[in-house]
Structure 1
């Protein structure tokens, strides 16, 4: 019963918040799609970058397929939250690998934050789960 109340008592986001959320979502999806496709087709830059992080060339395509599936789920409004969870897991792995090699790992963290900010701006139920009170 509580779940119904949570979703029924939420007001829609403002027009500017909705547009901003969609713009961030589209930019994130485009970046993730390019990264996934480059891994799937084994583009030289992607394979070389993955090799520098310690991944064998034989695993690059599989990583790209996982990223593509997570991105597709994130891009579909009905499954966006599930997709964001999967993309966050992917980015968490990137942070772990990069920190193990003492490489800068700020980008995946910032990118993960952008993924969730885009959903927070668009989905009223997330605002109810994580309320930001004005002081």
Structure 2
């Protein structure tokens, strides 16, 4: 007689917490995609806003490409953690620019928290890495 171990099949979370995480993540992704695409296509509003904050106009598309790649990685479940890390770096740069330009920085900081909150609520791996216990 031989004993075999059968690993339980991990079911994706479908409860309310995971749904809230997905909603938060979707809202963040929509905003990030709009911002990235406007930079990549060099929309005049995006160029003007970036130049007003001190970025060279010829670098705005590169910044948009970096954000677009980071956002795509965040969308893919297998690379979502890497995407969140890259988005955090992007938003850290945004906070630094806002401080230098003497603009409010709360939006970028809050947005970074929302990116991670959405991922935390929808991804079991992140909850395992960052266990909030009672």
Would you say same fold, with TM above 0.5? yes
Partner of 1:20: 20
> How far did 1:80 drift?
0.3
CA deviations on 1:17-44 (whole Å, 9 max, x unpaired) are 1101111111111100000010011111
Question: Which segments of structure 1 move beyond 6 Å, counting only runs of 4 or more?
Answer: none
For residues 34 and 78 of structure 1, the distance between their equivalents in structure 2, rounded to whole angstroms, comes to 23
User: Which secondary structure does the structure 1 equivalent of 2:21 belong to?
Assistant: helix
Task: Give CA-to-partner distance per residue, 1:42-88, whole Å, 9 cap, x none.
Answer: 11110110011101110011101010000000011110000000000
With structure 2 as the length reference, what TM-score do the two structures score?
A: 0.88
Cα distance in 1 for partners of 2:40, 2:125 equals 35
Q: Secondary structure of the residue that 2:125 maps to in structure 1?
A: helix
Find out whether 1:37 has 2:62 as its counterpart: no
Structure 1: runs of 5+ lacking an equivalent: 1-7
5+ long unaligned stretches in structure 2: 1-7
Structure 1 SS opposite 2:46: helix
Over aligned residue pairs, what C-alpha RMSD do you find?
A: 1.7
| TM-score (normalizing by structure 1) | 0.87
How far the C-alpha of 1:122 sits from its partner, in A, is 1.1
Count residues in correspondence.
126
Larger of the two Rg values belongs to structure: 2
